Chains A and B, each alone.
Chain A
Amino acid sequence: MTVVNLENITKVYAMGSVEVRALDGVSLEISEGDYVCIMGPSGSGKSTLMHIIGCLDRPSSGRYYLCGQDVSQLDSTELAHIRNRRIGFVFQQFNLLPRETVLGNVEIPLMYAGVGGSDRRRIAMDALARVGLGDRMHHRPAEISGGQKQRAAIARALVNNPSLILADEPTGNLDTRTGSDILAILDGLNAEGCTIVLVSHDRSVAERARRILHLRDGSVERLEHLRAEEPAERGAESNGHS
């Protein structure tokens, strides 16, 4: 099943009289269980593309089908609903709300989904356990390490069982060791069937993915296949391939 289908997406910013073409005719198809890394120099449009895939932003032109649904036609409330149910964001800056506890942060998407009380708490705790953060859930973000923050952010991204996890340079603010722990969690999630799109500058990070999308000046320079595409619809079966 195709999760993401981008057809000729452009994103143009008008900066006074000058037009900035942040994205210029990008087409991309991502199927369920895929693991795509977007690479490219700074300013090439990686984040812009992630925002469009994540329904935070709308393309200036082109069509975007998310799980078969034409997203370009939806209003802001419907987009919010899609972000809530189908998308899980992981940011470079973690973006945990400082006043909430770790558990409180993970509960936010559930709160906007209308999940209440004890269910919400239980699901959020399960998600935290899944990323190995069961023992820090009552701490505030300021009281935990960068790696732990990113785990919390991943738990928050996971908590509504999204169709797609979008991670924009999730290891950008972490040292190599902690970064590889985080990437291992993402690998594990992909192995369990999660569809993941990752942005990275780092070739060694990108090679964990199945495919690498090379962007340059807003256009697709090259789509590189690293591993045979093996839809992971039945869960973990990625072992034995190279």
Chain B
Amino acid sequence: MGIAEIVGLALRNLWANKLRTALSVLGIVIGVASVITMISAGSSAQKQITSDISALGSNMIMVTPNLKPGARGRSYEHLLTISLAEQIQAAAPEVSAVSPVAQTEGRLIAGSSSTSAMITGITPAYTRIASSRIALGRSLVQSEVDAAAHSMVLGSRVASDLFGSEDPIGRQVVVVSSGRRATFTVVGMTASRAAVFWFNADTQVFVPVTTLIHRMSPIKRVSSYFCQARSPETTAAAVAQVERFLASAAGTSDAFNVASQQGLVDAVKQVTATMTLLLGTIAGISLVVGGIGIMNTLLTSVAERTREIGVRKSLGACNRDILLQFLSEALVLSMLGGTVGMLLGWLGGAGIARIAGWPVSVDLNSVIAAVSFSTAVGLIFGTYPAVQAARMDPVQALRYE
């Protein structure tokens, strides 16, 4: 008996029980669809997040103090000065630029409009490190930092909140923060860019770090330092140099966190890989459940067709013929489920990515894995019923009522 004949027989038998076939395939369909949906959604999300992180800046290294409550954390606060930025750069040859970053919340008033925003104190190096793009006017310059000038670059969202579609350049903005008031002149506006995690450049305004620290902030401390490595390849070396310098300056290695962009990307990749594995495992379990569904259907089918098996054996079918007949039904079922599930999973993955605004990324490996896994499930769960059918004693089977 040829393979085509066996498969044809399986198809006819499955077709004769359409509803049962559909129901028993459902488990595999759902299993495969969920594997592919979840893994695709995971890989779409990962692509989005890693591309967002790359958009944060170029070869960026972020230095943040470990401000745990308690005496130990507090004792490092005196280190958080503007001049630490220059010291970092001097101590770390692989670092090409450093900008101190100081932040505080504030209210911005322009005429009758007002909005709240994050007020970020920077030096000109920041623009380059954070890949910030100026849409209107200009960015801050060193002389403004040196003079602690009241100049301001608006995030695009803040600009539209305050000035609508009017040109904000040259306009006055009153900043109220921690009970202090100061008037700034707008010199530029940044181009809009996507938010990454908590970091949304569009809802910030940028002022010289000196102005913020000396004239506005009650704490008079820098919040963090943005550094730039000379090249992607030397990022790790730069991180090591920065860490070494800060450890010696603070007398301990856990006063600061030093995280490179690449490190963040790696961390995100690791998290999403773990999540994907977890989701994939759950989906895999549903595939196994689907396999049990197929086994159940086949066992029922074998019992129902006992007489048929006896007749076929009396007509010359050998055990192998019967085995292959039922095994091919199991395989047709699982592959049918795998194919339908694959299409649904594809749609599901693309749909989720579409809704979330992530790049559509249907993971080919997950498609291969899900389809071959479902085929294997069919084989594994189909073998037992098929062997039962094949081993049936012909006389007993013929006597079966």
Query: CB within 8 Å of B: which residues of A?
Result: 51, 54, 56-57, 76-77, 80-81, 83-85, 89, 91, 95, 97, 99, 108-109, 111-114, 116, 156, 160
Contact = CB atoms under 8 A, between A and B. Distances in A.
B315 A89 contact: yes
A107 B76 CA distance: 91
Contacts of B2: 116
B113 to A, nearest CB: 79
Interface stretch (B156-164, B306-314, B377-385): B306-314
Contacts, number: 63
A83 B12 contact: no
Given A95-B311, A99-B13, A112 B317 contact: yes
B320 interface: yes
B319 A156 contact: no
B278 interface: no
Q: Which of B13, B308, B316 has the most CB of A within 10 A?
A: B316
Contacts of B394: 56-57
Contact of A84 (B308, B310, B316): B316
A238 to B, nearest CB: 29
Given A95-B307, A97-B311, A80 B5 contact: no
A218 to B, nearest CB: 16
Nearest to A88: B315
Contacts of A81: 316, 318
A84 B314 CA distance: 8
A95 B5 contact: no
B1 interface: yes
Interface-centre pick from B13, B307, B321, B394 (highest chain A CB count, 10 A): B394
A29 to B, nearest CB: 24
B314 A83 contact: yes
B16 interface: yes
B186 to A, nearest CB: 82
Contacts of B16: 99
A56 B398 contact: yes
B200 to A, nearest CB: 66
Interface string B292-313: 0000000000000001101111
B311 A51 contact: no
A85 B318 contact: no
A158 to B, nearest CB: 12
Contacts of A84: 315-317
A166 B31 CA distance: 50
A99 B12 contact: yes
Contacts of A114: 1
Given A95-B307, A111-B5, A112-B1, A56 B318 contact: no
A41 to B, nearest CB: 19
Nearest to A89: B314
A97 B1 CA distance: 18
Contacts of A112: 1, 312, 315-318, 321
Contacts of A111: 1, 5
Contacts of B316: 80-81, 83-85, 109, 112-113, 160
B307 to A, nearest CB: 7
A56 B313 contact: yes
Contacts of A83: 313-316
B395 interface: yes
A117 B38 CA distance: 46
A155 to B, nearest CB: 12
Contacts of A116: 2, 5
A89 B316 CA distance: 10
A80 B13 contact: no
A91 B329 CA distance: 28
